Amino acid sequence: MTLNIHWRLDPAAEPQRLEPAARPPLPALVRDCRAPSQNRFDYYLQVADAVAQTAFDGLLIRHHIEADESRIIAAVVARAVPRLVVVPEFPASVGSAVYAAKQAATFQRGTHGRLGWALAPDADRDEREAAADFIDEEDLGLRADEFLTVARGVHGERPFTFQGRHFEVLNGGFEAPLNQHPFPRIFLQGEEDEALAQSARHADVHLFRPAPADVLAERIARLNGLAEAEGRRVAAGLIQPLVAREDRESAERAARSVPLAAGTLVASYDGAAELLANAVAAGVSELVLEAAPTLEEAYRIGQHVLPRLRARAGSARQAA
């Protein structure tokens, strides 16, 4: 089992960085020669560069309605930064599943197949209606199901015909050369049984929230059981926010000064590597790490935690 380690970019994080309209002024003493052509995408590229250079395998880009659209960021980043798998997160409410699949095909063609798709959790009713998305609560799961069925269907089959509640296609399906790269790997998330069942049907990776290793192992066993019943295999992933420093005291001190996401791992580099290795031992093969500020922490985690984690995970695999 290969361990893939991704970094997560929240395009709304560090909102003043390279945001021309939010740029903090410099005192008159400092001659300001920042180029007006710089923009927010320069920051996303710096993060992606950091992530690639510190040997992460991929970059997940969060869906954030107040920030730049994740698939646009993904394409800009993938064109400029080599090797990284890029996984934009977006909701199933974006529109036509055929169109989304077609965009994915061009993305794959232009980047040698480095695209993944993460489906974002559904927004609440107010947020949906503000986004011209009027749909019954109980239909959300079905729509996501149909979205993924249609997208994968038109990518891989021709002719593809589908008549659902939310999507309809007649004699669809891509021809060569659009169908010559694999469909993007699908990342889904959620702790509830419904989410696990949906992953069993559609996901390549199911992303869990942080939990103790034994709890994770239990959830992964449940996911595997559901996937097997569908005749599929789904890799287990973990989204893990973390604050890691040279020693535990420094990490705790750093953690006191920032609001922490639930389940944030606060540890020394060695401690973080050990806890993550435990998750890997419990069956996790896709790690999605995040910390703020996004750029500096990508360097820190990439340089200090990843080598330790890979060494441990590697020797654990050899022992097994």
Partner 1 sequence: MSIDFYWRLPTHGCHNSLRTSGYERGDWSPLQPGNIAPGLDRDGAVDGFTYIDHLGAIARAAESVGFQGGLIPSFPNTDDPWVISSLLARETSSFRFMIAFQPGFGNPVHIARMAASLQRATGGRLLFNIITGGGGPAQLWWGDSFAHDDRYGRTSEFLDIFRGVWESSDFSYDGRFYQLRKGGLPALFRREEFPEIWFSGSSDAALQTAARHADYYLSWLEPFDQLGDKFARVKERTAALGGEQKCAVRVDLVARPTEEEAWADIRAGFENVGEETRQRWRGQATDSVGAARQAALRPSDARRYDELIVAPNLWGGFNLLRGGPALGIVGSYEQCAAQLDDLIARGADAFILAGTPHLEEAYRVGEEVLPLLGRQVSALQAAAE
- Least distance CB 160 / partner 1 (angstroms): 9
Residue selected from 3, 14, 46, 72 as contacting partner 1 according to rule CB under 8 A: 72
Q: Does 97 bind partner 1 (CB under 8 A)?
A: yes
What φ, ψ does residue 102 adopt, rounded to 5°? Answer: -70, -40
Going by C-alpha positions, the residue among 279, 97, 312 that lies closest to residue 184 is 97
User: Which residues make Cβ contacts (< 8 Å) with residue 205, sequence separation at least 6?
Assistant: 116, 185, 186, 187, 188, 234, 235, 236, 237, 286
- Residue 203 CB, nearest distance to partner 1 (Å)? 22
Task: Note whether 48 binds partner 1 by CB under 8 A.
Answer: no
Applying CB under 8 A, the span of 88-96, 218-226, 287-295, 309-317 interacting with partner 1 comes to: 88-96
Q: Interface residues for partner 1 in 116-155 (CB under 8 A)?
A: 126, 129-134, 150, 154
> Applying CB under 8 A, which of residues 34, 79, 165, 256 lies at the interface with partner 1?
79
Q: Which position among 2, 37, 257, 318 is part of the footprint of partner 1 (CB under 8 A)?
A: 37
Give the contact letters, 4-33, x = binds to partner 1 (CB under 8 A), - = no: ---------------x-xx-----------
Nearer to partner 1, 20 or 314 (CB): 20
Q: How many CA within 13 A on the CB side of residue 100?
A: 29
Phi and psi of 142, rounded to 5°?
-65, -40
Token pair, residue 35, equals: 């180029």
Task: Report the b/e string of 95-113 with b at 16+ CB within 10 A.
Answer: eebbebbbbbbebbeebee
CB of 26 to partner 1, least distance (A): 21
* Candidate ranges 35-43, 212-220, 238-246, 299-307; the one touching partner 1 (CB under 8 A): 35-43
Query: What's the min distance (Å) between Cβ of 161 and partner 1?
Result: 9
Among 6, 8, 17, 40, binds partner 1 (CB under 8 A): 40
d(CA 122, CA 128): 8
Task: Give the whole-angstrom CA distance, residue 117 versus residue 75.
Answer: 12
Contact yes or no for 238/213 (Cβ under 8 A):
no
- The answer to whether the beta carbons of residues 281 and 236 sit under 8 Å apart is no
Chain residues binding partner 1 by CB under 8 A are: 19, 21-22, 37, 39-41, 65-69, 71-76, 78-80, 90, 93-99, 102-103, 105-107, 109-112, 126, 129-134, 150, 154, 167-172, 174-178, 180
